[in-house]
Amino acid sequence: MSLQVDGITIAGRLYLPTGGGPHHAVCICHGIPSGHPPDPGDGGYPALAEEICGHGFATMIFNFRGTGDSGGNLDMPGWTDDLKAVIDYLAGRPDVSGISLLGFSAGAAVSICVAAGDRRVSAVAACASPAEFDFSDMVDSPEALVQHFRSIGAIRDEDFPASVRDWYASFNRVDPIDYVAGIAPRPLLLVHGTEDETVNISHARRLYEQAGEPRQLVIVEGAGHRLRQDRRAMSAVIDWLMSRRN
């Protein structure tokens, strides 16, 4: 399936369980691409979607703008618009009875931001989420960040962004620390690895402290940033989703 958002094609796929519905939906939100070649033995988000679907959930995966088969350029406020459109799509389906979000890294940040303002979302699981966006350890200037994203194909148009400074500043409009309290009284799960090389575990603790109840923090000893590939993390997420299904 595909959606049109701000004139941009957003590509996605919905996995439906066998048997009668309606089914609770889990919408998976990926992070910013690493730019590294994929591991041939890694089934990626489709494999995770199939696993979650196998537990009886309608499961949605999609590409945010600037990634995968979707059009456009990487833009964090634009990512919030993409997720809102996907939620609209799921909420309008008669075979969907409720919606939970499962986000990873920047996708977790966007999930928290959007869910805080959309009561159609009944629960949020955020894996390796930053509390706020900070690229200072990665690049020394906004222009260098644009060049990085251009080099990995996440910024595709030569005339984008119109203002590098405004584009860079817009990341902080989606800082989860400013929104996480708005999830309550809906349940929030935060999952983080002790050896996360991209987002320090202190971010998870700050989000947990700011969040309302019900909230849960799962610390995965020895895990890095790619929690989707950590069996312990995904087992905890799936168990939590199943316990919260409506």
Q: What per-residue confidence (pLDDT) applies to 246? A: 60
Closest CA to 36 of 193, 153, 154, 152: 152
Domain layout of the chain by residue ranges: 2-35+42-244
Report yes or no: 109 and 174 within 8 Å, Cβ to Cβ.
yes
Q: Is the pLDDT of residue 36 over 90?
A: no
Phi, psi of 5 (to 5 degrees): -130, 120
Burial 167-190 (b: 16+ CB within 10 A, else e): bbebbeebbbbbbbebbeebbbbb
The arithmetic mean of pLDDT across residues 115-129, rounded, is 98
Share the mean pLDDT of the chain. Answer: 96
Position 52, amino acid: I
Lowest mean pLDDT among 14-23, 104-113, 152-161, 180-189: 14-23
Q: How confident is the model at residue 209 (pLDDT cuts 50, 70, 90)?
A: very high
Q: What per-residue confidence (pLDDT) applies to 34? A: 82
- 61-81 per-position pLDDT tens digit: 999 999 999 999 999 999 999
156: Cβ–Cβ under 8 A, 6 or more apart, which residues? 66, 72, 73, 150
Give the integer Cα–Cα distance in Å for 63 and 83.
10
Lowest mean pLDDT among 12-16, 122-126, 133-137, 166-170: 133-137
Out of 3.40.50.1820, 3.40.1170.20, 1.10.600.10, 3.40.50.720, select the CATH number for domain 2-35+42-244. 3.40.50.1820
Helix 231-244, helix 44-53: angle, nearest 10: 40
The arithmetic mean of pLDDT across residues 202-224, rounded, is 98
- 154-186 per-position pLDDT tens digit: 999 999 999 999 999 999 999 999 999 999 999
User: In a 3-state reduction of DSSP, which class is residue 4?
Assistant: strand
* Token digits of residue 43: 């089934």
Give pTM, 2 decimals.
0.97
Residue 119: CB atoms within 10 Å? 9
* Token digits of residue 233: 């993390």
Residue 160: CB atoms within 10 Å? 17
* Token digits of residue 145: 């960040």
- 147-162 per-position pLDDT tens digit: 999 999 999 999 999 9
Q: What per-residue confidence (pLDDT) applies to 244? A: 82
Q: What per-residue confidence (pLDDT) applies to 38? A: 67
Give the integer Cα–Cα distance in Å for 245 and 98.
8
